[in-house]
Structure formats: C-alpha cells, structure tokens
Chains A and B, each alone.
Chain A
C-alpha cells in the first residue's frame, strides 16, 4: 500500500500519501510538506526526495520537493518584472501565483510626489528589478524593497528561468556550484530565490554554455557528484566551441 519511510542510507523518493513516523526526538526540515494523519504519523504531500538520518537517538528528516511553484518568503531576494503601475506603486511579477508590490517611496524616496511626477519615469512596465521580499501573506501578496545593496533596476543581461525547487542546487552547498560556474564561464550570475537567473557574460558563446549548464543542473538536480559533472560539461563545451585549446583536468 502506501509506504512508511524508514531511515535508509540513500535518498528516497516519496509520493503524496507515503508516511513517516515522528516522535519527540525528530527534527524536520520542510514541515510544510507534511500532513498529520494521527499521533505520530505524518504523510508527505508532494513528490519529494526524503532523507532520514539517525544520529545517535535523534532522527532528522529532510523533505526536498522536486516540483512546485514559487511561494515567497520574507528575506528572499528575487528577480521581478514590472507588469503594472499605479500612482504610487508598481505591481511586480515574481514568477509566483501571488503578485508583489513595490512602493514608490521605497525605490525613489519619501520626496516622491505622485501628483507632480509620473512614476513610470523611474520604472516602467517591462523593467527588471532585483528586490527583497519584506513581507508576505497569502491573503494579500508580497511587499518588496530595493533598499539593500545591489538591489534595484537591472538594465542589461540575460534572463533564464528554472524551477524554484532547483535554486538551491544551482547555488550548491556553500555556493560551491555557483562559484564553479562563475569561474568556468566568466559570467556574472545572480540566482533569484524565485527561479529567475540573471546572466552577464563576456560573449554569446559563454552565455550559451552557461545556460546549457544551468538547464543541465535543473534536470539532474537530484543526483550525486553533480558539481564535478557540470564542471566537466562546461569545459567540454568550451573545447567544442574552440574557446579553450586543451582539456584541463
């Protein structure tokens, strides 16, 4: 019937309906993907990879969903697209079922006077911004800010979209994957939490290789040894296109 997942060495694939048993000694990473069935039994609600580790007497369960739309979280840094403007705010598409709002006073400053100036002179429909999620409620949507360093309007670069679940993999543990990609492709790469990635590359060939590498990470996100494989892939592609002469092992 349904499976009750037990601690194993490898990662397990869970289907909605599969269950895990929890007790006081269990820590859960990804509790929103669990649904309580009874006292100690919880079912997993999405197709996900599940790690169950037994460290001494403590059980640690990690649920890593394989698919799903982006739901904003406070603190997330995202790549947004301006889709509409009111007198004193912009509506931003953040690749989520929920839309986001950026207030004029946040981007322009408290001196902005909507009766005198047109907000669209500062940010227009179709502009791309880097912003941080300040607040999010499912009943109202998200509020963004561009106050932090590095945030604001993006005027050039390429945009690639991946599944939001795969963002962590493109960054890697301690940014290992992302740093490797930046080093190998010489591109500036920014990965938004909402699955949108900004690339600024020295030339079109390297940009294409970077995009291929990112798509490959997305497809193979749940496998092991990925960072090395992607590095080899990028090097191979560079050799193929005559960007470097020899394979550097």
Chain B
C-alpha cells in the first residue's frame, strides 16, 4: 500500500504507530513450540510473526551433498500463503524467497561451529506466519534461538533488525508500511557478543554519514534484542526450578 503525502514521521518525532525513531516494536520470543523439530521458536516483531525450526546435526540426504570436514547448513525462508496483506501468495518459491534463503543462511552460518560435525546436515526452516515488515530479521532472530534450543554449538547467538530512513529521519525496526514507503531499508544481523556483522543489505539511498549513524542505531537495537533472546532461553530452561 503506497501512501500519498502522509508523513511517516511527524514533527514531534512520532511514527505512524506512535513509536519514536529509535523504538523497537514489542518483541516476543517463544522457544520449543514444536515437538518433532530438534529446536524451534516463534518470534514476533510487532505484527510480524515468524516460526523457525531446526533439525540437526543429522544424516545428509542425498548422501552426495555431505561434506567430509564439516556439516552443511541448509536454510529455507518461506512465506505462508495467507501471511501477506492483500492477495494470497502462491506457494511456489518466489525469487525474493530464494534470495532471502541464501542471505539468511549466510547470516547464521558464521555462528555455527559446523566443523564439529563432518558429514552431517543442519537444516533451518523459517516460515513467515504473518508479514508486517522485518520478516527476514525476525526470522534470523528466531533461527538463532532455535539453533540454541537444538543444542547446536555456536560461537554466539545472532540477532537482526532493519534500520531505515523515513522523511529524512533514521528509524529502527520498520513495519510493513514504513518498509514500502520509506527512503531506505537496511537489514542487518550481528553476532552480539563478538560484535561481528553477518548480514548487511541496503534497499534505498543513504549518505555515508547517514550510513554510519544507521549502523550505530542498529547495533544498540540489536543489543536489546540479544537480551530478549537470552531472557527467553533462560525462561525456558529455568521454569521448573525449585
């Protein structure tokens, strides 16, 4: 839905959903929602809701795809047919989903210690249940927690958020309307305790100065998301204490 003339950020710095530029949407993280998968999580960034499920390490099928010295990581990002506003999305994989599957795998794989499991596969499935901007970033945040839930050894968790520019103002965590109508959308994923960036994309236009500010806005937001990931993991494993 393209908006004409509506301001995305008002004079007193409020966005259309009332948030300040540096404010994240309400984020919830639920871990272990599926019985069969080795690890799973549902993450919500506002109205965006994504399910991530992990199997692994497991035997590679077909055999010829296995690697002698480490595990292969396979990742599929997909949107459910009714997840988008407006028309139903056809189940066939779109070019966008294929690109995002690759980008998300590359965002997570650096954190996975795949050399510990030669000749196996680690499979990550990301299903978007409801899309309202930031599906790939919520997906990465969910997949990282699902990997930890599966007990797969990692260097660090990975957390992601999109930073953008609306009416000249740098903002964090774009929702669907902001994503469609803003001047820039920069999704970024980071291994928070190591401070290493594993995903960085830009769709739009930014000056070098804006880019640097956007980067630091992203880093501080990602640290907040990282805290939520840790809290969710603690909540799951410590609930039956005492």
| Interface set, chain A 28-74, CB cutoff 8 A to B | 32-33, 35, 43, 45-47, 65-69
Binary contact track B222-242/A, C-beta < 8 Å → 1, others 0: 010010011001100110111
Q: Is the CB of B237 within 8 A of A97?
A: no
Interface size of A as a range: 20 to 34
Q: Identify A66's interface contact among B56, B151, B157, B240, CB under 8 A.
A: B151
Which of A112-120, A175-183, A219-227 forms contacts with chain B?
A219-227
The one of A16, A68, A97 in contact with B157, judged by C-beta atoms closer than 8 angstroms, is A16
**Tally of contacts, chain A with chain B, CB under 8 A:** 99
| A16, A45, A67 interface centre (most CB from chain B within 10 Å) | A16
Query: Which chain B residue lies CB-closest to A138?
Result: B118
Cβ contact of B154, chosen from A45, A67, A165, A222, cutoff 8 A: A45
CB of A187 closer than 8 Å to a CB of B? no
CB-based contact B155/A13 at 8 Å: no
**Interface size in chain B (residues, C-beta < 8 A):** 39
What is the minimal beta-carbon distance from B124 to any residue of chain A, in angstroms?
A: 15
Q: What's the least CB distance linking B197 to chain A, in Å?
A: 15
Residues in B whose Cβ lies below 8 Å from that of A32:
116
Structural contact, B151 and A17, CB atoms closer than 8 A? no
Q: Quick one: given A17-B154, A69-B57, A97-B59, are A47 and B148 in contact (CB under 8 Å)?
A: yes
**From DSSP, what is the main secondary structure of chain A's interface residues?**
loop
Q: Which residue of B is nearest A69, CB measured? A: B57
Which residues of chain B from 109 to 123 have any CB-CB distance to chain A below 8 Å in the complex?
Answer: 111, 113, 116-120
| CA–CA, A220 and B240, complex, Å | 6
On whether the beta carbons of A35 and B113 are closer than 8 Å, the reply is yes
- Can you list, as one digit per residue, whether each of A77-108 has a CB less than 8 Å from chain B (1) or not (0)? 00000000000000000000111000000000
A interface residues with partner B (beta carbon < 8 Å): 1-2, 13, 15-19, 32-33, 35, 43, 45-47, 65-69, 97-99, 138-139, 165, 219-220, 222-223
19 A-B pairs besides A16-B154, A17-B154 with CB distance below 8 A are A13-B237, A15-B229, A17-B156, A17-B157, A17-B191, A18-B193, A33-B153, A35-B155, A66-B151, A66-B237, A68-B150, A68-B152, A97-B57, A97-B59, A99-B59, A138-B117, A219-B240, A222-B238, A222-B241
